Chain A
């Protein structure tokens, strides 16, 4: 190997910078162009988690980052290794997850020549990274790695990719890892504008029917305690977005749960009736607002976010406030007077009684009921990762999240296959917690090879797989919008998932009757092993409530 006199190569400098950042774990998949990094990684205490496909390395790093609050790290090789990362990176970008991704690249002199396993990964990932780098000068590498971690984890977090040509990784590197980051084009705003803060306090004081809408930004900012203090002082009910689940405990009487397209009926009605809506770390995504022109028609809207570009992007905002939610709520607390909001809370109680969350009648094993039991048995304290589909909405509606950083799901991009690798990352980040993957047979088959990773690493994660032999969320769309013509949604070639689990040395269990639910869940909770429960359900289940396209949030379709 072409090493410099000091023996310190670019690759060595990268690994030094990782140690400097306190990185404990790297998720990755090796290949020719990235071997210099692997060669140096092996000489450190940093643990490498070998996944089965690169996309899952990013998902696992994302699961690790979201549960731990730290930055996830991935390695992949050039060409197909790099392109396989793309869905993982886009998933992390949409949910603002801090991940730093290192890719190997063909040697500098071959860049641009369509060399073997060459792809322009920095060009490809510009729209889905917070920032990225193609490193051409080895002496810039230590600074770039430092910047990458700083950019990924500060302000509104997100993925950062560093592409390192093989010759750069092998070249001698003298530059030290810098102590500080100096970026003249990157200055996130943390402190809220004092005048706007006073205006917010005044508006909260004047509101008769205030509502807080908490999003993923609350947990990113670790603002859960401040949120609870504000809520208790002002007696304001709270709805959350999908990423906001866990930011406010659902067993608190002021929690109304998730709002939106499949939001809880009472949460959706409250949003339509409130006269002041305070959005905290939310995007006012189309899955939350329903028809924009009918969104929160009676409310003045305040929007607190660290990303100024989110404010006014989708909904009209009367009171913008840019900054870190913890900083802002902390400063807001002494500015507001305690309040009771008696009539409004009475109305909320009425709404709860008028519009309870129900799931009607149906086949024998109801997934909603199963998730409710899981929520009770784990006291809402397990970490739940999900895939995307009906099961994701049932988990969001019926589990009952009580702690921050316990609902881990691809909320913005809606990436099927996210759940299993994210659960791998979650178990590694939080070995003290029980981690459950709630999934469906469609999503699970997109990344089930990661059972191998879970087995290899000895991870006792629990998988609750709802099997309806179909893509039932797609079926639901065809049911409502495509004349019930069900096309391309049935799986007739599914494996026997219980035996599949056993092939991977896991315990495989099956639920096919309601009376089996509690004993099987209890067995999985008590066995301290990788466990897969296949739960057979009807493909005709529908996720209710459901706001039809173009309707307002209170025009929900409810179960019969």
Chain B
């Protein structure tokens, strides 16, 4: 079962390797991991898609929480959220098939961002289903290269997954 975790971390060097290392050494499967800074430059957000049963997901959350640089973890899988991924596809496109490809690009509300003599680069955003669909539609033309960002996600409505929910961990 795939779960989407939204994780706030300190924006410090080494945090990504702490998180990624935790997944590999404990044998958890990362489907995707996207990271970038938040509205607060001292904090980054990681959107992690993990594959595992309930017990594994619970352990993932608890083990992540033990990392000092991890501030907050939310499993948003069952909350209403907007999930997006960006894909860049370099596809074979000699002049005879360009029209057909452009139609597909239109259908998916994607964009052509680069043209060479025999290829195009197509940019698309959307949820995982849409991204998979456009990739499948373009496959018959011959895909040369694919780059995907992994999913980023945000809760719908006014609710946030910011800092306000957690205490101000102070001691001594």
Contacts and interface: CB of A to CB of B under 8 A. Distances in A.
A309 B59 contact: yes
B2 interface: no
The contact size tier of chain A is 20 to 34
A185 to B, nearest CB: 4
Given A185-B71, A307-B66, A309-B59, A122 B167 contact: no
A181 to B, nearest CB: 5
A123 B172 contact: no
Contact of B58 (A122, A123, A187, A312): A312
B169 A183 contact: yes
B77 interface: no
B63 A187 contact: no
Interface string A116-153: 00000011001100110010000000000000001100
Interface stretch (B17-25, B78-86, B154-162): B17-25
Contacts of A122: 14
Contacts of B27: none
Nearest to A158: B66
A312 B68 contact: no
Contacts of B72: 185
B171 interface: yes
Interface string A142-186: 000000001100100000000000000000000000011111111
Given A131-B68, A151-B68, A307-B66, A181 B21 contact: no
A359 to B, nearest CB: 40
A308 B62 contact: yes
B168 A309 contact: no
A499 interface: no
Contact of B169 (A134, A187, A309): A187
Interface in B60-94: 62-63, 65-72
A185 B64 CA distance: 10
Contact of B166 (A130, A179, A184, A313): A184
A330 B30 CA distance: 42
Given A154-B171, A307-B66, A184 B163 contact: yes
Given A126-B17, A309-B66, A184 B71 contact: yes
A130 B18 CA distance: 11
A150 B172 CA distance: 8
Contact of A182 (B55, B58, B65, B169): B169
B170 interface: yes
Nearest to B72: A185
Contacts of A185: 9-10, 67-72, 169
Contacts of A187: 166-167, 169
B25 A127 contact: yes
A127 B21 contact: yes
A186 B21 contact: no
Interface in B103-121: none
Nearest to A309: B62
Contacts, number: 65
Contacts of B66: 130, 307, 309
A122 B59 CA distance: 24
Contacts of A186: 68, 169
B146 to A, nearest CB: 30
Interface residues of B, number: 29
Most buried by A among B68, B70, B166, B170: B68
A551 B71 CA distance: 42
A500 B170 CA distance: 52
A184 B163 CA distance: 9
Interface in A288-331: 307-309, 312-313
A145 B166 CA distance: 25
Given A126-B18, A134-B14, A307-B66, A181 B170 contact: yes
Contacts of A151: 68
Contacts of B21: 126-127
Contacts of B55: 312
A179 B170 CA distance: 11
Most buried by A among B55, B58, B65, B172: B172
A183 B171 contact: yes
A323 B80 CA distance: 33
A354 B66 CA distance: 45
A17 to B, nearest CB: 13
B166 A308 contact: no
A454 B72 CA distance: 47
A123 B14 CA distance: 8
B26 to A, nearest CB: 9
Nearest to A185: B71
Nearest to B10: A185
Nearest to A311: B62
Most buried by A among B58, B69, B168, B169: B169
A60 B149 CA distance: 48
Contacts of B169: 182-187
A134 B17 CA distance: 14
A128 B131 CA distance: 39
Interface in A87-105: none
Given A185-B10, A185-B70, A180 B58 contact: no
Contacts of A308: 62, 65
A463 B65 CA distance: 42
Most buried by B among A130, A150, A180, A186: A186
A185 B72 CA distance: 7
A187 B73 CA distance: 14
Nearest to A307: B66
A24 to B, nearest CB: 19
19 contacts: A122-B14, A126-B21, A127-B21, A130-B66, A150-B172, A179-B172, A180-B170, A181-B170, A182-B171, A183-B68, A183-B169, A183-B171, A184-B166, A184-B168, A185-B10, A185-B169, A186-B169, A309-B59, A309-B62
Given A131-B67, A131-B68, A309-B62, 8 more contacts: A126-B21, A181-B171, A181-B172, A182-B168, A182-B169, A184-B168, A185-B9, A309-B65
Interface of A: 122-123, 126-127, 130-131, 134, 150-151, 154, 179-187, 307-309, 312-313
- Top 8 A-B pairs ranked by shortest CB distance? A309-B62, A187-B169, A131-B68, A185-B71, A181-B171, A182-B170, A186-B68, A184-B169
